[in-house]
């Protein structure tokens, strides 16, 4: 009788343990959300009053997934980090970053407002090996109405680590640098 009771208790304990593991293991884990962090610098010199149109991007950049490419395996296939996401699509994050930069820069009050249109062409992390990666940001800028003046900007920045966190850090720095290049170009194009 005593042996039967002991076996029943052990079976009940094992069932409780297994059900607890099953319940805990099936709970979805919320992905970590990232943005570009605080801006690190501002552009020198006054800028004209800019009218920003909404930044456009191709459909594959319209999601919140952090994209990467394992170039050393297959350069034609993109992947998305499973447990990490952008807080908004990259074009939205870059547009907000640009607005923040414009808010801390001086304006040239003597100039008339200028329309700036930006298109995000590329925003991904590329792995050249399992331990080495770099992010690539590519923007096309158009200044003025109609065809206006256009310029393409591309920046490649090494990731400090070969993971999503390394990608986010590199994208933050690359975003500041490429937007500074765009604003420097705008300042040069609008000088009298």
Distance CA 94, CA 55 (A): 8
Burial of 94 (C-beta count, 10 Å sphere; 0-12/13-18/19+): buried
The residue-averaged pLDDT of 61-79 equals 96
User: How far is CA 85 from each of CA 71, 113, 128, 178, rounded to the nearest angstrom?
Assistant: 21, 36, 22, 22
pLDDT digits (tens, 9 = 90+) for 167-181: 999 999 999 999 999
Helix axes 164-189, 90-103, angle to 10 degrees: 50
Residue 85 pairs with which residues in a beta bridge? 33, 65
Domain boundaries defined on the chain? 33-189
Distance CA 116, CA 4 (A): 80
Q: Spelled out in words, what is the top-level CATH class assigned to the domain 33-189?
A: alpha beta
pLDDT of residue 11: 58
The residue-averaged pLDDT of 20-36 equals 73
Q: How confident is the model at residue 192 (pLDDT cuts 50, 70, 90)?
A: low
Residue 81 is inside which H or E element, if any?
strand 78-86
Average predicted confidence (pLDDT) for the chain:
85
Q: How confident is the model at residue 49 (pLDDT cuts 50, 70, 90)?
A: confident
């Amino acid at each position: 009788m005593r042996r039967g009771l002991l076996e029943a208790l052990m079976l009940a304990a094992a069932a409780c343990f297994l059900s607890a593991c099953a319940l805990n293991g099936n709970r979805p884990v919320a992905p970590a959300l990232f943005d570009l962090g605080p801006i690190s610098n501002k552009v020198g010199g006054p800028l004209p009053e800019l009218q920003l149109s909404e930044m456009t991007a191709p459909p594959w950049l319209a999601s919140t997934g952090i994209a990467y490419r394992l170039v050393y395996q297959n350069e034609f296939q993109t992947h998305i980090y499973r447990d990490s996401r952008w807080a908004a699509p990259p074009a939205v994050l870059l547009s907000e970053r640009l607005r923040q930069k414009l808010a801390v820069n001086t304006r040239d009050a003597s100039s008339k407002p200028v329309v700036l249109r930006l298109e995000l062409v590329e925003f991904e992390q590329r792995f050249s090996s399992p331990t080495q990666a770099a992010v690539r940001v590519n923007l096309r800028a158009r200044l003025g109405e109609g065809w206006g003046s256009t310029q393409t900007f591309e920046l490649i920045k090494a990731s400090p680590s070969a993971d999503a966190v390394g990608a986010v850090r590199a994208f933050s720095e690359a975003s500041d640098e490429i937007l500074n290049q765009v604003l420097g170009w705008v300042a040069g194009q609008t000088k009298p």
